[in-house]
Each structure stands twice: as structure tokens, then as C-alpha cells.
Homo-oligomer: A and B are copies of this chain.
């Protein structure tokens, strides 16, 4: 049986569905632009087989394992590594069965759509995953993974990816990216400059990280000027490996624009480990404005991903570390927070700052009015928990009337689950086509315009916004 409905996510009204399908047909085969995500460049450098279904679909994917945890399964029992190196479930088949037995938990979630799409369209499975079919599905997928056409580079090509950006920390030597480049393989896998560890005074080992930054770049990173120059140097290094963008994941969207002497003093305090929480926050805010200024110099696009309260459970963080499904969004203000940066550089037409949010209330109230006015701003797609059919629908309904389509930045998959990339882009394409069909059906857009906009949302806007 088919795991996915060929008309999924289209409107139910027959005429609307017909138009949505036609719009989708016109964009479904366009290349994938993936300008922001967390795939491991090592996959494409080494091109080894993915080890097994559990390590591909369950163990690394916090979307998947947190749902199992929420219903009482221990992280250890799903093979998620412990911080102390203690024992966890080692048998991938056992982990897979625990997942399969609880597959009904994902009913109605995008994870179910993505997983079914991968099972069916990437691997060719035709049975629904369940306790009964767990072993069959495991064996079926595992066998495929051994075939050459399921190696990372082959999948990259099969998926029709035109460009894939990964994300690396400022201190990363980008050796896997170097290896990809030196391999002669033609796939466009580029990096993104993510300096959180050398920008956030509360990051573990901040002072050591900054020292390392100085060493790598040959700058005197203990001084404010040297520190900024070290960033310039690393940004240039990242650009050698294709980077067109930087990325900033802060607890809030706060920006500052302090006089240089004050910024330098704050930096010294941060290096000395003497910042209060408020000062650390101010320093992060200052660095967003510094990064925006550097973007004006070097042309890199700046992404701001604020609002996640990281590692909410102290228990889980102590036992398993970061990125374990316990990052919880909170209210996020943009209007006051961004003003210092926008007063500094917001009217620059040559700058592109892409804003993301985990607080949907900001879409219509703050982000659409801001991006619908400042030339330096673009609005990023629905992110994380909102990368879904309802998330995309609410995003379009809340923002289009104020900032239009052309202040948005296309789609991001933002994933570390490589096999979900086609599924995620497919959901976005379908959801956008459904939305466009609704506009045409209610006389808010002409049909010919809808076909044009569908191309923009699927392909052009992401390429333009990310300068790819």
C-alpha cells in the first residue's frame, strides 16, 4: 500500500484541489535549495554507508526520540549517548522496535509525514511501521543502506539538491568541507559561520574559545579590535568553503549598539568571566550589530534564530547534554530588541538579515511590519516546531497581508535528518501551493500570478536571499 496520499496537504474542495495540484506539478521537480541545516559534512566527505535504520532515523533525531520520551521511554533505552559515557541500549534492532511499537504517537505530526515519505519514496517500503512490521521494515531499510545508490552522495544527487549548507562553529577547521572539495565530487555542500561559542560569554569555555580564535587567526583576540579582526578572518576562511551566510542562535533577539570603548570594556569583562547575566546578554546583543556591520563589509547574509530556552531539563542536560529535545520556545520580542541594530544598519539595501521566530505571535504583530518596512530585513520560513503544514499555513496567513511574499526568504529544512530533506521540501511546496490556491479561489490573487509566486517560494527567493 502507498504510505502517503498523492494529494496530501491539498485543499479538499475539488476545484481548489485541482488548482493546488497544478501549481504543485509546476514546482515539484525544481532543484532543492537547502540554505540552512545541520547535516554532517563528513557524510559527503567519506561517502560511507549509513550504519543502520536506528542510527539513521531514531538516535540522532530529537524530533523523534523526544516524543517517545514524553510517553515514558528512557533516553538510554533509545541509544541516546550519556554524558558520562555510561551504558545505553546498544542493539539498533531493539531501539527500532521500541520506536515501531509507539509509531502511533506520531499520528497527526509532521514527523509521521516525513518518516512515511522517507520510508516510501526514499526506500520503497509499502507497509506501515508498527510493532508487527518492525523487523520487516528494519531489514528492508538496512538492506537498502548497503547498496551504493543509498550512499550519501548518491542520495544527494537523487534528491535533486542544488546547494546544501551545513553549519559549523567558528573554530571548526572545516576539514570535512576541505575533503569534499578535494574529492572532486561535484555536489555543492557549503558551510555557514556559526560563532555562538566565541560570542556568548555564557558558553562553556568562552575565554578559551576566544583564545583559540586568536591562535587560529593570528590576531590578538584578547583586545576588542583584534577579536573583531579574528571574526573577519574566520568569516573569510568560511567563505573559501562556500559560506554565504552566518547564523546566530541567541536566547533573545536583543541587539545593542554601544560606543566602541564601552563594547571593548564589556568584552574585557566577558573574557575575565566577570559579566553578570545582564552584561552577557548585552554583549551578545552588541555582537549581533558587529556581525551585521561585517556583513555589510563582506556581503555575508546574517541569520538570527532567537527564542529557544535551551536545555530546559537540568536532569536531561546533566545526563545527556545538548540537543536532546528539551529546548523550549519562549516569548520573544523583536520591536525593542532589534532597534539598536536597525538604527545602525536597517536601512542599508545591500544588507540582508533574515529573522526567524519560535513565537508565532510575532509574525503578524512584529515581524511582518518590520520586514515590510526595513530594506535590510527578510523574514525566514517557519522554524522547528512550526516547520509543518499548520505552521506554514499560519505563517502565510499571518504575514502575507503585511509584508507580501517578496520580503520572505523561501524555505529552510534546518535538519540533521538527511533522508527527511525531500519530505520537508515537499511539505513546504504542497503547503504553499495549497495557500496560493486558496488566494486564487477567493479572488485575492490571479491564477497566472500564483504560478509565478510558486516558483518564487520554491526556488528563487531562497537563492536570492542567501545569495546562492
* A contact set with B: CB distance below 8 Å: 4-5, 7-13, 15-16, 66-67, 69-72, 104-110, 112-113, 128, 309, 312-316, 325-331, 333, 335-336, 339, 342-343, 346-347, 349, 358-361, 364-366, 368-375, 377, 385-386, 388-391, 394, 397-398, 400-407, 438-439, 441-446, 449, 452-453
Contact = CB atoms under 8 A, between A and B. Distances in A.
Given A11-B12, A390-B398, 7 more contacts: A10-B442, A10-B443, A70-B407, A105-B406, A107-B404, A313-B346, A389-B401
A388 B5 CA distance: 31
Nearest to A128: B446
A27 to B, nearest CB: 16
Given A12-B16, A347-B315, A365-B331, A373 B66 contact: yes
Contacts of A394: 397
A439 B108 contact: yes
Contacts of A404: 67, 105-109
A17 to B, nearest CB: 10
- The listed residue with most B CB atoms (<10 A of its CB), out of A69, A113, A444, is A444
A228 B205 CA distance: 43
Nearest to A394: B397
A12 B20 CA distance: 13
Given A69-B373, A313-B373, A364 B335 contact: no
Nearest to A72: B349
B109 A401 contact: yes
Contacts of A342: 312-313
A107 B445 contact: yes
A408 to B, nearest CB: 11
A375 B71 contact: yes
Contacts of A105: 404, 406
- The listed residue with most B CB atoms (<10 A of its CB), out of A16, A391, A452, is A391
A250 to B, nearest CB: 16
Contact of A8 (B371, B407, B442): B442
B405 A443 contact: no
Contacts of A445: 107-108
A158 to B, nearest CB: 23
- The listed residue with most B CB atoms (<10 A of its CB), out of A113, A374, A445, A452, is A374
9 contacts: A69-B373, A104-B452, A112-B444, A313-B374, A328-B366, A328-B370, A330-B336, A389-B442, A390-B400
- The listed residue with most B CB atoms (<10 A of its CB), out of A11, A16, A441, is A441
A401 B407 contact: no
B335 A333 contact: no
Given A330-B333, A358-B365, A70 B375 contact: yes
A64 to B, nearest CB: 11
Contacts of A446: 128
A197 to B, nearest CB: 24
A108 to B, nearest CB: 4
A326 B444 contact: no
B375 A405 contact: no
B325 A330 contact: no
Nearest to A349: B72
B360 A403 contact: no
A369 to B, nearest CB: 5
A339 B312 contact: yes
A426 to B, nearest CB: 12
